[in-house]
Amino acid sequence: MKNTFFRSFLLSLFYIFINCLISNAELIIPFDLWPKIENKISNITILVAETEKLSHQGFCGASSKQFQTTAIWFPEIEQATVFVNTNPGYGTVNQNIQVVFLDKNWIVLDIITMEKKVGTAVAPDRTSSALEGTPEVVKKLGFKKSRPAPFRIQKIGTRYFCQKMESK
């Protein structure tokens, strides 16, 4: 009797585990279905987290290659918005991520590094939008604290475009 109960208990745990995996897999929206900037900058694809669902997913469940070739832009962020690398139900973020906080004039207010799996970052006063990527991607894109962003993103109709800014 103990053996049957134990087997039933293990089988139940197995089904719950499989169900959780399937549920989370259905929640994740693949990056190729996200809205994205039409033109790449430095061979980096910039995705647009234009909905709350995409904002919450962020880099959760991203592959190693996606971390190295992708950034995510959050077009409408307010001060005190909290970014997390903890598991919000989509999976964990298994690499360090930097969040670049921008004001409405595209000046970099701050760049905060979030540690993989446990990191958090809070948007400072005057934040209007944010971009996140690995430290290598953020560096490649050319963001520097207290400086103008190296490009601006503009929505025209339903499409997004990137305009490089002149270096001074």
CATH number at residue 105: 2.60.120.1140
In a domain, 57, yes or no: yes
In a domain, 6, yes or no: no
pTM: 0.83
In a domain, 19, yes or no: no
In a domain, 41, yes or no: yes
* 113-142 average pLDDT score: 96
In a domain, 132, yes or no: yes
Give the separation between CA 42 and CA 151, rounded to whole angstroms: 11
Tens of pLDDT, residues 91-102: 889 999 999 999
**Which domain, by its residues, includes 101?**
29-164
Tens of pLDDT, residues 12-69: 333 333 333 333 445 889 999 999 999 988 999 999 999 999 999 999 889 999 999 9
**Count of domains for the chain:** 1
Neighbours of 72 (CB within 10 A): 25
In a domain, 153, yes or no: yes
Q: By percentage, how much of the chain surpasses pLDDT 90?
A: 70
In a domain, 89, yes or no: yes
In a domain, 91, yes or no: yes
Tens of pLDDT, residues 70-84: 999 999 999 999 999
Neighbours of 129 (CB within 10 A): 20
pLDDT for res 5? 44
